[in-house]
A and B are shown apart, each in its own frame.
Chain A
């Protein structure tokens, strides 16, 4: 067993836990707390157009008037008076990796981002605390007319009107308290536009790193995939662990036009002091396809339910997700779908693993509106309990308003089979390793949906979690 532990430790957790020293010389850090002055300062930092500044103030008002959610994990440990909304390195965003400041470059090198860009990505955006520090897209992809840049820059280009007409329309600030907070202090994030008929063969990736202690990250990702286009977008996130709460309240708005397809993959490995209150939503037009692949491993507390609105006739959605809740974690995850169009289809496959006192909750909603004739929805959620000090709860909801829908739902909660462990141990595999292998097998439907490099990372994270490190 000790050999196995040694092997597991060698998977290099240090890449995620690595901390940069935040110095006054290199970093600008706004004071903690949230009020109108803070919001105006963020707006000034961003050099916002007037409409955006007004929008931020409106969001702050909504935030102050809204109640905390009553239905999820406790967020009592999150004190907004002790969270700073904006931290940035004093250097500007670069398009050349060599120009990125040494300390930040070092962090992303450890996370393997530049290597991934060279080997398997069409473009990369890297956000460090509140601002993008690097953004680049391969020439051949840019030549196809694909726009992949930071959102703030894009707002000052020919795409300004497109952004204004889409920004926070899918996730309005009235949606929930943390959507309003996001609207008030959002900073960073990416804008992607894939023109009509363009198929991007290899993925784009954004990586979000929150290095500062006691800070919030509020990046906004806006992706528009135009008619007949095709894109795979990968999102990764991590942070070093501190003894104070950090907050991630990002927003992802995805617009998939007629006959287009978007795959959005996430490997989330925030540190275990993070409150991850992220909101993701997609609007799919006629014959469009939305595919979510989601692995949630990090965070202290998580609320994460990517939502898809199947507006167009015959549009489709598939969600494949896994959540690993370990010691001290309360991860409330799942998916939401609204069927509006005729002949729309949704498939949700969710897996969760609870271990060492972790709380894993699968929560979902399937809404089939009366207009969604011939809609089909299928939900499957499996939970694996690794011990008896953890929790695995499944809380799925369905609201069906037409008779010619076809809805199927199944869920299972169980444990790792003793027979399977015995079989593997009889082949000379340690109990720990046998359990890790079985859990990796349980997660296989998710990892097989990821590009190879990310599947390997996900399996490594499973091994790390199973080893208790």
Chain B
């Protein structure tokens, strides 16, 4: 089949959204502004969830108890990302990681930075599964998840 017959039409679709955070998530961001990481505790199973949810997914009960968790925790898993894709928010290379903060019963996704990311072999010597990391705050708080700028490995 000749190239002429493979007609391709290029286009871009832009769709705007305005999403409601709800009370729990609005409050979580307010606490980030004060450089506090807050989770919520389920009165039934007593798990502490970060980010907080308005209800416990396992018990299906409302969660109303706020608990401050540590700003330090354990790396449960991580990945070095050097792959470009459209409208990526963070410049590559970056490290996406699942971190469980002390006092929380769930891991959550953030990034590990504050180290030289250019040499992957060097990165592997510093970032370890089971290693400890601690939060570093952004100077300017915009009310989003990057108010925590990143987590950096603790010696």
Partners in one complex: no
B interface residues, Cβ below 8 angstroms from A: none
Which residues does A use to contact B, with CB under 8 Å?
none
